[in-house]
Amino acid sequence: MKIKKNVKINWLIFIAVLFFTGCAEQASESQEKVETMMVTDVKGEVEIPKDPKRIIDLSGNSDSLSLLGYKVVGTANSDAYDYTEFPSYLEDVLEGATILGYSMQDTVDVEAVMNLEPDLIILSTVQEKVYEQLKTIAPTVMIHLEALDWKEDVKTLGTVFHQKDKAEDWLKNYEKKAAAIGKTVKEKNGEDTTYLSFLASGGQFFVFDGAGFGEVLYEDIGLKKPKGMPEQTDISLPVVTYEGLAAIEADHIFVIAADEDLEVLQANEIWNNLPAVKAGKVTSLDASPYFNQGYSPIGRELLLDEIAVMLDETD
């Protein structure tokens, strides 16, 4: 009888264990249910997690996403001169993320994306040919980026992720800061002082006008363009020769270059005879990070303070 009683007790314990295990599994499944929301991208409506935890951004907008409160686990916001490194102005923002190439590349290591186990993937139309592969891994949002309007890109991300107000508030604060710095610079150096910025690379000179560093100078801070500037009509920077540089009547020059390109430039007679060069009104900046920094919202905000300091040191 005692044996039968023990068997009965053990059987009851076994049933109880199964019951509570089943309850625990149901509770776990309930907890794991992810709340979602619908967003609209260039492909149409996409259902994504409302609070994504493992975002991979291939669009080059990881910095803008951080302004909206998102942190990425994978990014294509690498340095333009070294795809294995973060640009210095984004090191803190992107700390801990895995670099997955460069945002202007149209391909991506799909296996590397898969290994990061994302719950949301963001890409631009640049990577459209891998869209079908990526969307089998996780919900995938494709963003159309404006070639020459970075503010619209920030607004687009804000709209897509239902955070338009947060995006617009950041932009308003940025514009207020830029205007204040522009006022200070113009009061010190004069309203009519003109500024030129260009990238020296491989014996060619890529002039910043309607994008990047130049846009920070002219559109954001409100400084004056020099006469003789080539006009930028698309995402490609206008290219000029030494003679083209000499035709631009700039009072102050920002030259962005790698060390070897700067050495070649500084050895050239035409360059050394430019009025701004003779007057010592030249600021030399490293190609990394300054070539790309003016294309990043966070980079631009840092540039505002940096430009003010640079001009204070030379003018």
Residue 140 near residue 123, CB atoms below 8 Å: yes
Q: Which residue has the tokens 């670099």?
A: 99
Residues of the chain where predicted confidence (pLDDT) is lower than 70 = 1-32, 147, 314-315
Q: Residue 38: in which H helix or E strand, if any?
A: strand 36-41
pTM, full prediction:
0.84
Calpha distance 55→98 (Å, rounded): 11
Q: What angle do CA 167, 173, 174 make, to 5 degrees?
A: 90
The domain limits of the chain are: 36-162, 176-314
As a CATH number, domain 176-314 is 3.40.50.1980
Q: What angle do CA 9, 12, 18 make, to 5 degrees?
A: 145
> Can you state the angle between helices 150-160 and 164-189, rounded to 10 degrees?
160
pLDDT in tens, 47-84: 999 999 999 999 999 999 999 999 999 999 999 899 99
Left, alpha or beta for 121 (phi > 0: left; psi -120 to 50: alpha)?
beta
Q: What is the CATH architecture of 36-162?
A: 3-Layer(aba) Sandwich (3.40)
CATH topology identical between 36-162 and 176-314: yes
The whole-number pLDDT of residue 31 equals 47
Q: Which of 303, 78, 146, 77 is nearest to 157 (CA)?
A: 146
